[in-house]
Amino acid sequence: MIDIEAAARLLDDAALHARAINQLTATEDFPVPDAYRIQRASIERRVQRGERRVGIKLGFTSRAKMVQMGVDSLIWGWLTDTMLEDDGGRVDLRRFIHPRVEPEVCFLTRRAIERPLTALEAKDYLGAVAPAMEIIDSRYQDFRFALADVVADNCSSAGLVVGNWARDFDGLRNAGVILRVDGRDVQIGSTGAILGHPLRAVVEASRLASASETVLPAGTLIMAGAATAAHPLLPGSHVQAVVNGVGEVEFTTCLTVGQTVAQNLEEA
Ligand code: OOG
Ligand code: MG
């Protein structure tokens, strides 16, 4: 059986030092429930260092993402406060290995989710929705992995940028989605690509959380999953996502000659 703590430490260190590791499944096959145990143990290490859970993210809710990564199961992972970047701000790529960006929508819950919700109920539990981008950064070499690997790696979670909150959920049906880099459209899609409707992601989130006996408190962020394939991030770029009728969100990238997260922590 795979050593859960050792695997969690390996992945956590890879993220801290921005250094890629070999896929865990290259040396040891392990089932997906063990992968979620590794994920939980690695988040626990972050919490021990002072990070705070702010929400969850779903992965592979669109066909575009499944096809790009060759994985066809819905997955979920945790978002922490240190992953949050400002809308309109500067994102330092120094702390990532090989980051990619993807256009998403983000929900904010207004009631605790303690059981699986139906599609009809989901809206009642939400306070707002915003255009968003997720920055993913697989801790595995060449951004390649099997399902168990990516789940153990907290579903490649690395950063998120959330735009202005809106309360109109009806505009989410088949809204056009554009990912723009330096003014050029690099990905075009629709919110309909996200499980048919992004609110379905909330239903799935409630199901997955309940199955793992996790309560999602009011004020939880839920990233619904990318509407399109992800796009590589390079320094010195202006990146923008537009979700028609919902809003826009943007950031610029830079690369400082600075320190990795691990070096910063050592000095703190
Ligand atoms: C896994 C994360 C997938 C999404 O939105 O589908 C994901 C990956 O592609 O590395 O975040
Ligand atoms: Mg994503």
Q: Which ligand is nearest to the CA of 137?
A: 1
Residue 149 makes CB contacts below 8 A (sequence gap 6+) with 23, 24, 25, 35, 140
- Compute the distance between CA of residue 61 and CA of residue 106 in angstroms, rounded to an integer: 13
Enclosing H/E stretch for 156: none
CATH of the domain at 56: 3.90.850.10
Residue 46 DSSP one-character state: H
pLDDT at 268 over 80: no
> For 131-163, how does the pLDDT look when each residue is reduced to its tens digit (9 = 90+)?
999 999 999 999 999 999 999 999 999 999 999
Torsion on CA atoms 197, 198, 200, 204, rounded to nearest 10: 150
Q: How large a percentage of the chain has pLDDT more than 90?
A: 95
Choose one of 136, 194, 223 to mutate for the ligand 1 pocket test, by most ligand atoms within 8 angstroms of C-beta.
Answer: 136
Cβ neighbour number for residue 236 with a 10 Å cutoff: 10
Q: Is the CB of 59 under 6 A from ligand 1?
A: yes
pLDDT at 258 over 90: no
pLDDT at 260 over 90: no
pLDDT at 239 over 80: yes
Distance (angstroms) between ligand 2 centre and the Cα of 231 equals 11
Distance (angstroms) between ligand 2 centre and the Cα of 104 equals 7
Q: What tokens were used for 172?
A: 């989410």
pLDDT category of residue 262 using cuts at 50, 70 and 90: confident
Q: Is the CB of 150 under 6 A from ligand 1?
A: yes
Q: Say what the pTM is.
A: 0.96
Which range of residues forms the domain containing residue 139? 4-267
Q: Which ligand is nearest to the CA of 150?
A: 1
Q: Is the CB of 206 under 6 A from ligand 1?
A: no
Choose one of 135, 156, 208, 231 to mutate for the ligand 1 pocket test, by most ligand atoms within 8 angstroms of C-beta.
Answer: 156
Domain count, the chain: 1
Q: Is the CB of 147 under 6 A from ligand 1?
A: no
